Structure 1
Amino acid sequence: MILPAISLDVAAKDTSLLTSLAVVGDVLLTPGPQGQTQDPSALLEAASCWVQLPSDSTVDTALDYLHAGAAKVVVPAAADYVTSLLQQVSSDRIILSVELDGASPATAITAEAFGYLFTVSTAAEDQNYVKTIRELTASFTSSRIYWSTPSVPPTIAAIAAWDKHDINLVVSSTHLSTSGSSSNTLDLGEAFAASLTSDRPDGLFATIVVDEQRVALGLCYSSVKSISEAIRTRTGVYQSRARGLWYKGASSGATQKLVKITYDCDKDTLQFVVTQEGPGFCHLNTRTCFGADSGITALEALLRSRKAAAPQGSYTRRLFEDPVLLHSKIMEEADELVEATSKADIAWETADLIYFALTKCVANGVSLADIEKQLDKRAKAVKRRAGNAKAKWDLSLKQNGATKQEPAATAPGQNATAVAKTETKVERRKEIVMKTYSYADTSDSEKEALLLRPIIKTEEILARVKPIVDEVRSRGDAALLDLTAKFDGVKLQSSVIKAPFPAGSMTLSKKVQDAIDQAYDNIYKFHDAQLDKSVLRVETMPGVVCTRFFRAIEKVGLYVPGGTAVLPSSTLMLGVPALVAGCKEIVIATPPRIDGTVPPEVVYVANKVGASTILIAGGAQAVAAMAYGTDTVPKVDKICGPGNQYVTAAKMVAQSDSSAMVSIDMPAGPSELLVIADATCNPAYVASDLLSQAEHGPDSQVVLLAVDLKPELLAAIEDEVKTQGEALPRSDIVRESIPKSYIMKMDTMQQAMDFSNNYAPEHLILHLDDAEKWVEKVQNAGSVFVGPWSPESCGDYASGTNHTLPTYGYARMYSGVNTLTFVKHITSQTLTKEGLDRLGDTVTTLAEVEGLEAHRNAVAIRLKDIRKGRE
């Protein structure tokens, strides 16, 4: 192959020529007429270059150029610093150069390097060429050989001849052109193609087209002519076997900017690296010809499209329009990545951080190619800094008890308060401390951000859930057993327990049994009162009677979470209303304990509500089993119950699949609670209510709206949160959820009610003077707890209301689970002969308007008989 060479002075004056030469590979920067008079550092940003050092160079000069980004340095083989240089950097960054003046090439080399550049000042005889080639190939078979005869204009035949001996010909830019050959110059494309081989009858070269991340876009063919044209235009130009030269995107607009052309080890296949514009490479308007893109390149493409036309109200659009929110999310995700320990969590949090970081890049016009260019540049650096963390981030200073010195200087645009907040966050990372905001000092965009919950990564979660659902659907019980072993670490012989359940599986202490029975009675009483068993009957006009009556949904699946807590309460909240409604078959799904059993409290409740089956499985696999059915798990008509993000995603996947024919109660997210407190509140009570939801899970969120509280009262609440939280058995979970929660200081109750209704909390607690009067102001909430003696825990367990409630803001449009969740209403109508006579003309007229003749005729044929004889 050829190695294009250009002198430093020419390259500095004509950077476009340098970048054109670099399309076919690395470019050799040679000293100018007076030696190395130009600093090549700026040119190394424009192209991948080798730098040829003059004879008076030093080891420091070589290291400086390598650190600045030179792919390789070409060093005189006789230089006294060669050995020192090879000890400091990898030999694959070094080319040794030799001026041949009749000396044997073999004896001129004293060190092993990546390659050797031999230069002859005058043309040599053919036999000397052959002799030299034999000597080189015999002595240096493991290294690459480059041959330079500056005074001899190259020919295509000479390039091909040298290549047959695995010797690369250095060709000066003065002998190359990107606009065709002439008497003094070679076309760059032809010179590059001279070393290629093709075993095709038409002489074409298979060409793989890739983007800058080397993702394959498609396959096409190239000819010497199309290669030259691609280099000339710096665009994607290929050889169509039917139509000749193919200028990619000339008609579709999906043009390509040519970045580089490379070849494979056999020199019979090309790779075109391009920047793809428009909808994509494929004629089907996809980015690749090999199906949907994936991974980080797909994310970049999505973000670019969202930046151009993001839907109004979408989260990504908010990130682009609100730099403060985006900055906050990057800081948050970086913190969560630091805290992650398991392989799955580290991968998850890294994906989060990449998403927000790439959003910032796209927002500021930075591409993946720009990032990779920086990575490549750093990989070439040979001088390393210590890499210690800056003082404000260096946790070792705090762990070692070191005293903090002078505060870090603030960056331009960064105030001292922001730095102090950041440092405080690092210092008390594990403390149970809520963030605090002031409503009056918070911008509208910041308030909107505070209304959001922690992000649910819907697309990522669905991508994980869908294969699980498909596996259960296709493999049934065998898949359930395998997935339970994989995700729960429990090997079961059977995934179900059928009623009647063994007495030994629900043995409880009398105290626990009495508590469950009391809760059952209260929940039953409240939910039974919700069911209006009468038939609604309305005579809309004489002779026309409309009715509505209810019927229970026949088969229901109830998902009871497991994992970090035993939840007989959830079994009650789902099972009792299903029993009251009259569902004929109740299936309860819950994850196994480590010994493969189901908690006896859950079995006891399942027995009380008349469940036919207990499915010992959790997660998406349990939802799939109930949605599609297996040999042992009955297929249900509706699935209800709370769960993590995977359970929710599986419910939504099943509901959207028409072949499953299943509905769900509601979408859901992590548990949440909002407290509104005024000056009459008891700090200990407020803190206990906040912690009662914070302990549910790391993604739970609790919010306190403090209405005109004096600083000392607010401080008392914060102290109680910290003190009570640290004493909890589940304090590790609270340490994760409380930092995601916050306090908002309010001036008026109206502000608090407006904020609460916009937040639409799952649980709303009113720690207020005369709290009852504020209930009428509640527009959006799952369940309301009124006054200091109504802790949320009562609703969770035994007061009678249901605790399966809409989260994540869905309280704006969903109710919590209730008896009506498990019934459907059917309407009927009965018309007498006289009634049809009165209504018929209205119906036929409207049917004619809509052009539905059969509808009109069904009435008209009857009216004809009714009115026979009147005319």
Structure 2
Amino acid sequence: MPAFLPLIKTAPAELIQALTRISPLIIPYPPSSFPSQIPDRRFILVDQQDEVAQDDIVALLNDGADRVIVPLKLAKELINAVPADRIVVLLDASNFSAVSDIVRNGVSGVMLKTPTLDVDLITSVGRFFESSSVFVLSTGSNSAPTVSDIRQVEATGATLIIPSEHLTVSATTTTQINIADAFLATVTSDRKDGLFPTIVSSETGHSLGLVYSSRASVTESIRTGKGVYQSRKHGLWRKGETSGATQDVVSISLDCDSDSLEFRVVQHGDGFCHLNRQSCFGEARGLPALEKVLCSRLESAPAGSYTSRLFNDPALLRSKIMEEADELCRATTKEEIAFEAADLIYFAVTKCIAAGVGIADIERSLDQKAKKVVRRAGNAKPQWSQQASEASTSQQPAPKIVKPVSDADAFISMHTYDLSKLPPEERPALLRRPVLKSDEMMAKVKPIVDDVRARGDAALLELTAKFDKAKLDSTVVLPPFSAESMRIAPDVQHAIDAAYRNIHAFHAAQADAAPLVVETMPGVVCSRFARPIARVGLYVPGGTAILPSTALMLGIPAQVAGCREIVLATPPRPDGTISPEVMYVAKLVGASAVLKAGGAQAIAAMAYGTESVPKVDKLFGPGNQWVTAAKMLLQNDTDALVSIDMPAGPSEVLVIADHTANPAFVAADLLSQAEHGVDSQVVLIAVDLTAEQLRAIENEVDAQARALPRVDIVRQSIAKSLIVKAPDVAAALAFSNDYAPEHLILHLADAPESVAQVENAGSVFVGAYSPESCGDYASGTNHTLPTNGYARQFSGVNTLSFQKHITSQEVTAAGLKDLGPIVATLADCEGLTAHANAVRVRLRALQA
């Protein structure tokens, strides 16, 4: 409770606005006579002479009044009909003794009208009402109360009520007290400089920073409604005066000891912190972060992006909200419910932001609903009741992709669905991957990218120390690489050498060695020839992991294509070194530089170039969501002028198995992909398998998973994975083509024949003895493949990925005589006369 409560009868709008920032207002009944918009925080005062029905009081509370202050007679009628915490009884000093225990226990406070500030009387009333609030209105003086009066009443545990005619935003006089003086009357400071520690929070109560306030700064903030604080060095600090990051003050309140303040504000501009962050205590999380990102996307989402579609397609957004609400209703475990609730909140907040509704508006609505005294029954509308009843009796459960399991003893299993029994409208859910919040991730990586762009190596060194925990003096290693940095076990070297030969042979065969030459008509020869992309950046995930295979898969096609500069980036280990296996591959593929950095900062360094890192023309390689987001962000930056290999998502495999499949082989293939991460996607299509045959595979999955060191990861990824029953191979391959998997493994009686039916896949593994692991390491094909369904339109990395194709044409004089009139006619048709003229001047020369 503030140091005082204002009683508003009539007052200037400026005063009322200032008062709403520091206190609830007491408004005489009826509130419709109030001179401005009814504030959110308000008490309604019902005088004795007013005859007010119980229903009128209930209506006031339902409409959002915090409490009603009513005469003793009306208070007795309201007890048991209205919650006690919403009633304050109005008493005169003369009828104080008429209060019964029933009244005392049925109200939350008392407003005492007394001619003078009788401390003994106020203390007695406080003792009688025990833990209830006591408000005191002095009626016997035309002068304004003093700061001393406010402190004296506060010392008894009561709160002084001051009529609005005695309040002002100007200087204190004998008839009016400045509201800031009244508000700060009870505030104390234990600091020598007399300043008050002040927490600045968002409108929803999330901390933005710690500052200091003085009486002068608080006075100005209350009056202007702007964030004004006291700098210990520079005096009054009007937030945003130079930066533009201004604040609108929503409320100013005291803590329980009256020795510190909280300002709740609407923050404009980049944020409160001098580092252009929303908060001095780190980046926003949860709902504030979601709101910030969505507001940003509303202003600047790229045309055609998913967020832009949501904002501009109400039907799509409505469908997503209904879809996610349904999935939340179907969720059962704690993890499922949290997952689905988050999805629903995301789309619900998107709708709110599109309509100009913020989280604070939602919270205000919740608070208003909580104030209602009379509530409707809350039954569902008939159409929803009917749907719920039908859902509860449905024999076919809707697809549910997410089923986290935390019990170590639980059977490690996948969800099973039958294509022949699945309603067509539910089939798309089986094809869906987890939602990739690419817009949110790009917003997170942008500050990192911008920092590297602006500060180059200095930023790269700082970010490497922060994220990779490696303190480096330099970020780039240039050839020749030292023997010490490449010292590896003989068997590992032998394996890498063998893999290098296979991968090199396959990718060398892909290169466009000779130009394509076609004579399209006599005297007109068109050709296409390949040229290497001059400078390429290869990202190899690393740090604690050792991934020489990725270095091979990216480095060999770059080498075969003839790229002039090959920059290989990989996170360093904590001691600042790179794994010797990766360094050995760097030598094999002829890397021109090794960048000891990971994450978005490495991608940015290669895209823009730094003092030591060469700029590249195209970026390749897998990585976590930070790496992927940075690649997607930079490919749209014309200053970077860099392209990327393909969008990337979690690893995935789809296995098609019939009755000839070895259950142990199938389970091993599923698990080899499931161990990548908790978001890995694993699908088994069972072609006309019996329950016993399917159970054999499931038992193998459980048994083999428990023997893996990464069983905790597998347990979560398998729980999100699918078994889809298909009646025949044709149906299985049709589903696979719709799914467009990164890896497709065929455990079929005639696997080679089935390859002809494959339309969408990153890489195909044909037959029982072609595990996906071979393609990952050493068979010769590339393991950098399209995920998340992008196999519908992208190829995996290959030699041509590192080349660009240039066309040329050579037209002889004889050829131009035939071709020229055709070109001129088409140019005239398009109204491009200069194009036509370029032909006709030559034709005229030939005729002459």
TM-score normalised by L of structure 1 = 0.69
- Partner Cα separation in structure 2 for residue 42 and residue 273 of structure 1: 31
- Partner Cα separation in structure 2 for residue 273 and residue 19 of structure 1: 25
> Is 1:118 paired with 2:137?
yes
SS at match of 1:116: strand
Counterpart contact for 1:592–1:598, Cα < 8 Å: yes
Query: What one-letter code is carried by the residue in structure 2 that aligns with 1:537?
Result: V
- Partner Cα separation in structure 1 for residue 293 and residue 560 of structure 2: 49
- Partner Cα separation in structure 1 for residue 508 and residue 342 of structure 2: 47
Aligned to 1:503: 483
Query: What one-letter code is carried by the residue in structure 1 that aligns with 2:765?
Result: F
Aligned to 1:415: 392
Q: 1:679 aligns with which of 636, 654, 659?
A: 659
Structure 1 pair 263–520 and aligned structure 2 pair: CA distance change class (3 A): closer
> Is 1:28 paired with 2:29?
no
Counterpart contact for 2:649–2:787, Cα < 8 Å: yes
Counterpart contact for 1:681–1:788, Cα < 8 Å: yes
Aligned to 1:386: none
Structure 1 pair 539–136 and aligned structure 2 pair: CA distance change class (3 A): closer
> Is 1:760 paired with 2:734?
no
Counterpart contact for 1:50–1:74, Cα < 8 Å: no
Aligned to 2:555: 575
SS at match of 1:824: strand
Query: How many angstroms does 1:560 deviate by?
Result: 0.8
Structure 1 pair 671–832 and aligned structure 2 pair: CA distance change class (3 A): same
> Is 1:444 paired with 2:424?
yes
Query: What one-letter code is carried by the residue in structure 2 that aligns with 1:643?
Result: G
Structure 1 pair 730–751 and aligned structure 2 pair: CA distance change class (3 A): same
> Is 1:747 paired with 2:759?
no
Query: How many angstroms does 1:561 deviate by?
Result: 1.1
Query: What one-letter code is carried by the residue in structure 2 that aligns with 1:118?
Result: L
Structure 1 pair 299–476 and aligned structure 2 pair: CA distance change class (3 A): closer
Query: How many angstroms does 1:675 deviate by?
Result: 0.9
- Partner Cα separation in structure 1 for residue 75 and residue 53 of structure 2: 12
Q: 2:808 aligns with which of 809, 815, 828?
A: 828
Query: How many angstroms does 1:554 deviate by?
Result: 1.5
Counterpart contact for 1:848–1:856, Cα < 8 Å: yes
Aligned to 1:296: 291
Q: Which sections of structure 1, spanning at least 5 residues, go unmatched? A: 6-10, 169-210, 216-259, 266-270, 275-292, 339-348, 383-409
SS at match of 1:22: coil
Structure 1 pair 313–61 and aligned structure 2 pair: CA distance change class (3 A): closer
Aligned to 1:106: 119
Alignment of 1:632-643 (within 5 A): 632-643=612-623
- Partner Cα separation in structure 1 for residue 35 and residue 724 of structure 2: 56
- Between stretches 326-335 and 470-479, larger displacement belongs to 326-335
Counterpart contact for 1:66–1:380, Cα < 8 Å: no
SS at match of 1:583: coil
- Partner Cα separation in structure 1 for residue 405 and residue 824 of structure 2: 77
Counterpart contact for 1:119–1:148, Cα < 8 Å: no
Structure 1 pair 721–831 and aligned structure 2 pair: CA distance change class (3 A): same
Q: CA-to-partner distance for each residue in 1:525-552, whole Å, 9 max, x for gaps?
A: 1111112311221111111111211111
- Percent same amino acid among aligned pairs? 48
- Partner Cα separation in structure 1 for residue 30 and residue 372 of structure 2: 26
Query: How many angstroms does 1:792 deviate by?
Result: 0.6
Q: CA-to-partner distance for each residue in 1:793-818, whole Å, 9 max, x for gaps?
A: 11111111111000011101000001
Query: What one-letter code is carried by the residue in structure 2 that aligns with 1:864?
Result: R
TM-score normalised by L of structure 2 = 0.71
- Partner Cα separation in structure 1 for residue 831 and residue 52 of structure 2: 90
Q: CA-to-partner distance for each residue in 1:314-372, whole Å, 9 max, x for gaps?
A: 9745413535665279879954969xxxxxxxxxx997674156469899999856741
Counterpart contact for 1:674–1:765, Cα < 8 Å: yes
Alignment of 1:836-847 (within 5 A): 836-847=816-827
> Is 1:603 paired with 2:594?
no
Query: How many angstroms does 1:66 deviate by?
Result: 5.7
Query: What one-letter code is carried by the residue in structure 2 that aligns with 1:319?
Result: K
Structure 1 pair 583–427 and aligned structure 2 pair: CA distance change class (3 A): closer
- Partner Cα separation in structure 2 for residue 531 and residue 790 of structure 1: 25
SS at match of 2:567: strand
Query: How many angstroms does 1:463 deviate by?
Result: 0.5
SS at match of 1:146: strand
> Is 1:164 paired with 2:141?
no
Alignment of 1:356-375 (within 5 A): 356=347, 358=349, 368=359, 371-373=362-364
Aligned to 2:321: 320
- Partner Cα separation in structure 1 for residue 354 and residue 666 of structure 2: 41
Alignment of 1:242-253 (within 5 A): none
Structure 1 pair 38–542 and aligned structure 2 pair: CA distance change class (3 A): closer
Structure 1 pair 601–648 and aligned structure 2 pair: CA distance change class (3 A): same
Structure 1 pair 467–556 and aligned structure 2 pair: CA distance change class (3 A): same
Q: CA-to-partner distance for each residue in 1:43-85, whole Å, 9 max, x for gaps?
A: 32312232235547999988995676x3967678847999999
Counterpart contact for 1:59–1:85, Cα < 8 Å: yes
Query: How many angstroms does 1:522 deviate by?
Result: 0.9
Query: How many angstroms does 1:500 deviate by?
Result: 0.8
Counterpart contact for 2:166–2:175, Cα < 8 Å: no
- Partner Cα separation in structure 1 for residue 35 and residue 749 of structure 2: 75
SS at match of 1:656: coil
Aligned to 1:50: 67
Query: How many angstroms does 1:146 deviate by?
Result: 2.9
Q: CA-to-partner distance for each residue in 1:247-306, whole Å, 9 max, x for gaps?
A: xxxxxxxxxxxxx998989xxxxx9999xxxxxxxxxxxxxxxxxx98527748989998
- Partner Cα separation in structure 2 for residue 632 and residue 98 of structure 1: 77
Alignment of 1:429-508 (within 5 A): 431=410, 432-508=412-488
Q: CA-to-partner distance for each residue in 1:22-43, whole Å, 9 max, x for gaps?
A: 3485132538867984584553
Alignment of 1:151-300 (within 5 A): 164-165=176-177, 295-296=290-291, 299=294
Structure 1 pair 165–862 and aligned structure 2 pair: CA distance change class (3 A): closer
Counterpart contact for 1:543–1:831, Cα < 8 Å: yes
Query: How many angstroms does 1:413 deviate by?
Result: 6.8
Q: 2:791 aligns with which of 781, 805, 811?
A: 811
- Partner Cα separation in structure 1 for residue 92 and residue 748 of structure 2: 85
> Is 1:717 paired with 2:697?
yes
Q: 1:527 aligns with which of 507, 512, 532?
A: 507
Query: What one-letter code is carried by the residue in structure 2 that aligns with 1:45?
Result: N
- Partner Cα separation in structure 1 for residue 752 and residue 727 of structure 2: 20
Query: How many angstroms does 1:718 deviate by?
Result: 1.6
Counterpart contact for 2:476–2:613, Cα < 8 Å: yes
- Partner Cα separation in structure 1 for residue 34 and residue 696 of structure 2: 69
> Is 1:376 paired with 2:390?
no
Tell me the C-alpha RMSD between the 2 structures.
Answer: 4.9
SS at match of 2:531: strand
Query: What one-letter code is carried by the residue in structure 2 that aligns with 1:502?
Result: S
Query: How many angstroms does 1:762 deviate by?
Result: 0.4
Q: CA-to-partner distance for each residue in 1:749-792, whole Å, 9 max, x for gaps?
A: 23222211111110011111111121111111000111111111
Q: CA-to-partner distance for each residue in 1:397-437, whole Å, 9 max, x for gaps?
A: xxxxxxxxxxxxx9977638999999x96875554322222
Aligned to 2:779: 799
> Is 1:736 paired with 2:716?
yes
- Partner Cα separation in structure 2 for residue 294 and residue 768 of structure 1: 49
Aligned to 2:161: 146
SS at match of 2:161: strand
Q: CA-to-partner distance for each residue in 1:206-233, whole Å, 9 max, x for gaps?
A: xxxxx99799xxxxxxxxxxxxxxxxxx
- Partner Cα separation in structure 2 for residue 115 and residue 467 of structure 1: 52
Query: What one-letter code is carried by the residue in structure 2 that aligns with 1:752?
Result: A
SS at match of 1:704: strand
Structure 1 pair 4–262 and aligned structure 2 pair: CA distance change class (3 A): farther
- Partner Cα separation in structure 1 for residue 297 and residue 594 of structure 2: 43
Structure 1 pair 319–420 and aligned structure 2 pair: CA distance change class (3 A): closer
Counterpart contact for 1:320–1:326, Cα < 8 Å: no
